[in-house]
Structure 1
Amino acid sequence: MKIQFVSKALKPLSISLAIVLQSCSPKQPAETDKPPVSDFMYQYSIIDALLGGVFDGNLTLGALKTKGDFGIGTFNRVDGELIVDQGKVYKISYDGSIREVPDTDSTSIAFVKFFKADTTFTVKGTTLDQLEKQLLAVLPANEMYAIRMKGHFEKLTSRAPGPARKPYPSLKDHLAKQQYLFNLSNTDGVVAGFLLPGYIAKVNVPGFHFHYLANDHKSGGHIFDFTAAELTVEIDKIQGYTVELNTHADFDKVGLDKDRQEELKKIE
């Protein structure tokens, strides 16, 4: 089932999104002229495995790019933040450096899809918190969305983790020692991420999850906060969801019964 959003460039944000959503066509039967996976989100591994210390995976980035051209994740050993934009995979390292990574590198967890915006709008003078509240007010809570933003950020706070060493700790304990913060100012770039519903907890991150890549490829990371002068926001409603379990041997050894939602809130 897919909602077709009408593309409009209206503001203020609350008015523009309300108009866009009101103008949506009714849900239609699944399209049969193309594989449904094209509008599905693909995920490798699950968030609770990462939280529990499963920091390695066997999925190469070359294989990941066959599943989507847009998304976020991390690398083996939690060695930096991963962002996929326009079919290219970038690593934001703990020292702030950024590079496009080869297809032979691997990921321990990643979320991607082939991005095609259903609606596009602009917003001026907003913070991350304000934007998220506006989106939550108008987007149906049970649906899933890929969100891409680009523009000028007056301030942006992000992080990237340093690589872990075996035996791997929990992600919370690792980030307590190996999280590096970046306080950026007057930066232009792209935000990639997702808005996912609460019922996918333990599998993915409920709510918003964003990574940043500066246009000059000199800064980025997992976003904690920002103040933006002007943004172009693109939203792609996700039709379905495919999860591939982590194929590394460590996945079968981690305990997944523990409730780790409080841990997730502290690090996200």
Structure 2
Amino acid sequence: MTTYSTAAAKNNVLTILLGGFFLMQGCTPKQPAETANTTSATDFMYQYSIIDALLAGVFDGNLTLGQLKTKGDFGIGTFNRVDGELIVDQGTVYKVSADGSIHEMPDTDSTSIAFVKFFKADSTYTIKGTTTLDQLEKDLMAALPANELYAIRMKGDFPKLTARAPGAAKKPYPSLKDHLAKEQYLFNLTNTRGVVIGFLLPGYLAKVNVPGFHFHYLTDDHKAGGHIFDFTTNNLTVEIDKIQGYSVELNTNADFDKVSLDKDRQEELKKIE
């Protein structure tokens, strides 16, 4: 009799579900090179601070980017003062600034909130033909078990993509919603090629993280990017890394202990995401 580990069984289910969906879409699936029989620490997501603290105006943190990179080589977040969008791709940390410029950031800089893991795809699929972010998200939601966590990396061509980056806040800090109302800068990008970095997380993580999809974008030439609102793509490779669990380190800045986190801020989150 053949037996399977829990991790291997879950990966097989993921492959079957996604393989069925993408084959129906006329897409080409690629199996992972190997399936792990045990769960390692790299299968876990690390998170610094919580989303409700950021929503409430806790815009500073003490975690350096050098420390963050020991926790993962893939992820998203922001910087102190909400000064731009943070992207970690293949171990390098990038900032998308409010003027749209991209910068590689030094290890000495700090973050007020970030979510990272060591990315290793369980399944890879290539989508040929035109699709939108909205349609892609609906298709993935239908194909993936709703209670699981996923890191998603997508690379391809984007005829149209809308992104944003915030400008730095000044003390006393307002709520994130009020800050973005004045310091959010939109970028309508056309005919770019790049990478989408992000996560799909279940609803039960609300107040701690962003439920649903949360994506940031970086062009291959490192000249544009940001927090994604929408896109159209006509050639996309999708890599999915199922997350076995996650750890949360509370924000170590003194402001975290002073803020009230009792308020339900889900409506605020929906308006800015």
Q: Is 1:53 the counterpart of 2:53 in the alignment? A: no
* Alignment CA distance shift 1:134-1:247 (3 Å): same
- Cα deviation for residue 28 of structure 1 reads 9.4
Instruction: Find the counterpart in structure 2 of residue 147 from structure 1.
Output: 152
Which of structure 1's runs of 4+ aligned residues deviate more than 3 A? Answer: 5-12, 16-20, 27-31
Looking at structure 2, the residues matched to 188 and 28 of structure 1 have their Cα atoms a distance apart, in angstroms, of 32
Looking at structure 2, the residues matched to 28 and 105 of structure 1 have their Cα atoms a distance apart, in angstroms, of 35
Instruction: Find the counterpart in structure 1 of residue 3 from structure 2.
Output: none
Listed as ranges, the matches of 1:1-268 within 5 Å are: 2=7, 3-5=10-12, 6=15, 13=22, 15=24, 30-31=38-39, 36-124=40-128, 125-268=130-273
TM-score (norm 1): 0.91
Question: Is the 8 Å Cα contact of residues 200 and 212 (structure 2) preserved in structure 1?
Answer: yes
Query: What code does the residue aligned with 2:264 have?
Result: D
- Cα deviation for residue 13 of structure 1 reads 2.7
* Alignment CA distance shift 1:19-1:120 (3 Å): closer
Looking at structure 1, the residues matched to 261 and 41 of structure 2 have their Cα atoms a distance apart, in angstroms, of 28
* Alignment CA distance shift 1:200-1:17 (3 Å): farther
Looking at structure 2, the residues matched to 235 and 63 of structure 1 have their Cα atoms a distance apart, in angstroms, of 25
Query: What code does the residue aligned with 1:180 have?
Result: Y
* Alignment CA distance shift 1:15-1:53 (3 Å): same
DSSP 3-state at the match of 1:4: helix
The percent of aligned pairs where both chains have the same amino acid is 75
- Cα deviation for residue 38 of structure 1 reads 1.1
Query: What code does the residue aligned with 2:93 have?
Result: V
Looking at structure 1, the residues matched to 16 and 89 of structure 2 have their Cα atoms a distance apart, in angstroms, of 21
* Alignment CA distance shift 1:244-1:12 (3 Å): closer
DSSP 3-state at the match of 1:108: strand
Looking at structure 2, the residues matched to 179 and 61 of structure 1 have their Cα atoms a distance apart, in angstroms, of 23
Query: What code does the residue aligned with 1:215 have?
Result: D
Task: Give the gaps of 5 or more residues in structure 2.
Answer: 1-5
- Cα deviation for residue 234 of structure 1 reads 0.1
- Cα deviation for residue 15 of structure 1 reads 2.7
Looking at structure 2, the residues matched to 95 and 254 of structure 1 have their Cα atoms a distance apart, in angstroms, of 30
Question: Is the 8 Å Cα contact of residues 44 and 246 (structure 2) preserved in structure 1?
Answer: yes
Query: What code does the residue aligned with 1:261 have?
Result: Q
Question: Is the 8 Å Cα contact of residues 195 and 220 (structure 2) preserved in structure 1?
Answer: yes
Looking at structure 2, the residues matched to 13 and 54 of structure 1 have their Cα atoms a distance apart, in angstroms, of 41
Query: What code does the residue aligned with 2:63 have?
Result: L
Looking at structure 2, the residues matched to 101 and 7 of structure 1 have their Cα atoms a distance apart, in angstroms, of 39
Task: Give the gaps of 5 or more residues in structure 1.
Answer: none
Looking at structure 1, the residues matched to 26 and 244 of structure 2 have their Cα atoms a distance apart, in angstroms, of 19
- Cα deviation for residue 123 of structure 1 reads 1.0
Looking at structure 2, the residues matched to 7 and 139 of structure 1 have their Cα atoms a distance apart, in angstroms, of 10
Query: What code does the residue aligned with 2:106 have?
Result: P
- Cα deviation for residue 4 of structure 1 reads 2.1
TM-score (norm 2): 0.90
Looking at structure 2, the residues matched to 17 and 262 of structure 1 have their Cα atoms a distance apart, in angstroms, of 37
DSSP 3-state at the match of 1:175: helix
Question: Is the 8 Å Cα contact of residues 8 and 16 (structure 1) preserved in structure 2?
Answer: no
Question: Is the 8 Å Cα contact of residues 11 and 123 (structure 1) preserved in structure 2?
Answer: no
- Cα deviation for residue 162 of structure 1 reads 0.1
Question: Is the 8 Å Cα contact of residues 75 and 116 (structure 2) preserved in structure 1?
Answer: yes
DSSP 3-state at the match of 1:199: helix
* Alignment CA distance shift 1:18-1:96 (3 Å): closer
